[in-house]
Amino acid sequence: MRVEVTATRRLTFDDGSPVRAASAIVSYGDGWLITQDDSTLGAHWRPGSVLPLRLLDPVEGLDTFASADGSKHLKPDLEAACVLPDGTVLLLGSGSTPARRRGVRLSGQEAVVEDLTALLGRVAVALGVPHDVLNLEGACLVGDRLRWFHRGLPAAGWPSASVDLPLDVPLHEASPDGVLRYDLGTVAGVGLAVTDAVALGDGLVLVSAAAEDSPNTYDDGPVVACALVLLDGDRVLDRAQVPLVDDRIAKIEGLAVVDETGSGARLVATIDADDHTSPSPVLELSVGW
């Protein structure tokens, strides 16, 4: 597999403020919706414009959250996004803290929030991990089911994994099954772990994976590499490292397919630079296999 970065840009809102901590990207209207994992607002990126879009109500009067002011524990951490068969956009929290156990269904401009605490408890049991270890960062449709990816922490013995959820029942009532676990390999002794996923034809899934030397699933750590990995079920078909961007490792946290051929795809990817003062980079990628 080969990966080429064909274009880059840094996203700012129309008022000049940065799109921060971009963590998921999904097709939305005539553009893209990008979640900011440390904000209750998304970014609606359209040709010639980037506007804020409210996804959640403020939390304790705040719309943005950071370690520096002691509010990181309140951030919603919407890390996964996909478009459902009915055209609704589904956004999902990562699950490791109470603030991160919500989902958002977006239909047009209307956002409906769901409490996913009970579902995430069942997901933790299915994966065999403590609830506070959950770090669900990607989701895509595989057939008639939603596949939800747990990043895990390979260094601590928690491999990346996924569960499947039915779409014919309300999400908060769903029973997870179809558990898959992934050995994505290591780079410089640090395990690669899933940061997002997109479905391709023939049942294949392409995931982004970061080798991040984190002490736990809550705190950030140094990223030594980022890769794209092609999966067939839990089997790794191929893997390629993502090229450096501006001489830095591009920590991809959001992936979306622009178009696909039988031997490759064009994608758009968002990067979370773990710096809320810096506009999030967006990459256009050409992937072939």
Reported as a single tens digit per residue, the pLDDT across 111-163 is 999 999 999 999 999 999 998 889 999 999 999 999 999 999 887 888 999 99
Per-residue pLDDT at 208 exceeds 80: yes
Per-residue pLDDT at 274 exceeds 80: no
So what's the pLDDT on residue 221?
A: 77
The Cα–Cα gap between 120 and 152 comes to 14
Reported as a single tens digit per residue, the pLDDT across 89-124 is 999 999 989 999 999 999 988 999 999 999 999 999
Per-residue pLDDT at 215 exceeds 80: no
So what's the pLDDT on residue 61?
A: 96
pLDDT-derived band at 218 (thresholds 50, 70, 90) equals low
Nearby residues of 112 by Cβ (< 8 Å), 6 or more positions away: 104, 105, 106
So what's the pLDDT on residue 272?
A: 84
So what's the pLDDT on residue 109?
A: 85
So what's the pLDDT on residue 81?
A: 98
Per-residue pLDDT at 191 exceeds 70: yes
So what's the pLDDT on residue 212?
A: 87
So what's the pLDDT on residue 11?
A: 95
So what's the pLDDT on residue 216?
A: 65
Nearby residues of 167 by Cβ (< 8 Å), 6 or more positions away: 84, 85, 141, 144, 145, 146
The Cα–Cα gap between 203 and 144 comes to 11
The stretch 14-32 carries a mean pLDDT of: 95
Per-residue pLDDT at 78 exceeds 70: yes
So what's the pLDDT on residue 157?
A: 84
So what's the pLDDT on residue 132?
A: 84
So what's the pLDDT on residue 82?
A: 97
Cα separations (Å) of 186 from 225, 243, 246? 9, 17, 23
Q: What is the chain's mean pLDDT, rounded? A: 94
In the chain, % of residues over pLDDT 70: 97
Per-residue pLDDT at 275 exceeds 80: no
pLDDT-derived band at 19 (thresholds 50, 70, 90) equals very high
* pTM assigned to the model: 0.95
Query: Do the Cβ atoms of 34 and 271 come closer than 8 Å?
Result: no
Per-residue pLDDT at 260 exceeds 90: yes
So what's the pLDDT on residue 89?
A: 98
**Burial class of residue 257 (count of CB atoms within 10 Å of its CB; 0-12, 13-18, 19+):** middle
So what's the pLDDT on residue 241?
A: 96
